Amino acid sequence: MQARKKSNAQGIDVSRYQGNIDWKMAKADGISFAFIKASQGQRYVDPTFTTNAKGARAAGVLLGAYHFLDATSVEAAKAEARHFADVLDQVGGAKALDLPAVMDYENNPGNLSKTLISAVALAFLLELERLTGRKPIIYTGNAFAANFNASLGGYPLWIARYSDTRVPSDTVTWKRWDIWQYSDSGKIKGIAGNVDLNEFDGTADELRTRFNKKGENTVAEKQRDINKVSPWAADVWEEMTKNGYFDGTRPGAPITREEAAAALSRLRQNILKGDK
C-alpha cells in the first residue's frame, strides 16, 4: 500500500481509556479529525461518547464514531448495527457526523471461516447504511484484513499497522488505505497517556471533500468495472463458466435471485450428469 505524506491530515481515535480530553489542546497540537468509540456488541455504550463528541465538535475537530463488532452471525451483526445507529442518535445521528460511521472488526471470537467473516461484516455494513443513509468505513488490522473478500472492496479502508515507515501490506481486497492507524502509543497535548495516531491519505480539506455527506465515496464505487474479472477470482470464474454455471458476462456485477436460480439449476443438472 502507499506511504505516508507530510501533508496528510493527522487524527486520533479515543474511548473511555483516554479519560478526560482537552480537545482544544489536541486541535492546537495538530489533530484535524477524531474517531470516537460509541458502542460495542448489542448493548454496550462507551460512557465518554457524547462528552467526547461535543468536545471535538466545539474544538473544530472533524468528528467520526466507531463500533467494535463482536458478532459471530449475520443476525447478530444486524442487531449490532441497529444498536450502533441508536447510539449515534445521541449526537444527532450518523448524518450529523463529519465523517462516516466505522465498523471496527479486528478479531474472530467465534472462529468463523473467511466466508462467514465477510458475510458478518457485509450484513453489519448494509444494515447500518440502511438505517443511517451513509456508507460506513471498515477499520481492521493489516493481518485480519486478509479475511475480507471482494464484496467489501468498495468500502473505504482504515487500516492498523504500527510503524512510522513500514507501509501496510497489500491484501486481495485492498491495495490502498484511506486512513492508516500507524501508532498505538502516541502522545498528544490534552490527553494523558497514550493514544492511537492516524493519518488520512490527503489534507484536512481533502478529508472534508472525500467524506462529504452528499454522495460520499462515489469515486471508490466507480473504480470497479463489472465486465472485468478480479485477479483473485480469475481461475474460479474460468472454471465456472467453462462448466456452464454462469454465462461468462458481467463477472463483477451483483447477482439477482433469478441469476442465482439459473446458476443453481445448471449446477444441479451437471451434478446429476456426473460432471466433476
> Catalytic residue positions?
13, 106
Q: DSSP states of 76-137 as a string?
A: HHHHHHHHHHHHHGGGT-GGGSSS--EEE----TT---HHHHHHHHHHHHHHHHHHHSS--E
**Contacts of residue 115, Cβ cutoff 8 Å, sequence gap at least 6:** 149
CA distance 215 to 70: 29
CA distance 13 to 23: 12
Length of the chain counted residue by residue: 276
* Residue 258 Ramachandran class (φ > 0 left, ψ -120 to 50 alpha, else beta): alpha
Q: Which three cell numbers stand for residue 65?
A: 464514531
Q: What is the dihedral of CA 259, 265, 268, 274, to 10 degrees?
A: -100
CA distance 86 to 42: 11
Cell 444498536: give the residue: 83
Determine the 3-state secondary structure of 10 from DSSP: strand
Q: What angle do CA 29, 30, 31 make, to 5 degrees?
A: 105
Q: Which three cell numbers stand for residue 174?
A: 485492498
